[in-house]
Amino acid sequence: MTETFGADFLVRWLAAVAEAVDREADRLTELDSAIGDADHGANLKRGFAAVTETLAKEPPATPGAVLTTAGRRLISTVGGASGPLYGTLLRRTGKTLGDDERVTREQLAEALASGVAAVSQLGGAQVGDKTMLDALVPAVEGLRGSFGAARAAAEEGALATVPLRARKGRASYLGERSVGHQDPGATSSALLFATLDETARTEASSTEGAS
Rg (CA), the chain: 16
Query: Alpha-carbon distance 208 to 119, whole Å?
Result: 36
CA atoms within 13 A on the CB side of 143: 25
Q: pTM, whole model, 2 decimals?
A: 0.94
Band of pLDDT at residue 211, cut at 50, 70 and 90: very low
The stretch 96-106 carries a mean pLDDT of 97
How many CB atoms are located within 10 Å of the residue 121 CB? 11
pLDDT tens profile 145-204: 999 999 999 999 999 999 787 776 666 555 576 687 899 999 999 999 999 999 999 988
pLDDT at 65 over 90: yes
Mean pLDDT, range 61-70, rounded to an integer: 98
Judge whether 195 and 177 are in contact, CB under 8 Å. no
**What's the pLDDT score for residue 171?**
63
Compute the residue count for the chain.
211
pLDDT digits (tens, 9 = 90+) for 72-94: 999 999 977 889 999 999 999 99
Q: What is the mean pLDDT of the chain?
A: 91
40-57 helix and 7-35 helix, angle to the nearest 10 degrees: 160
Contact by Cβ (8 Å): 48, 87? no
Q: What is the Cα–Cα distance from 163 to 141, expressed in whole angstroms? A: 22
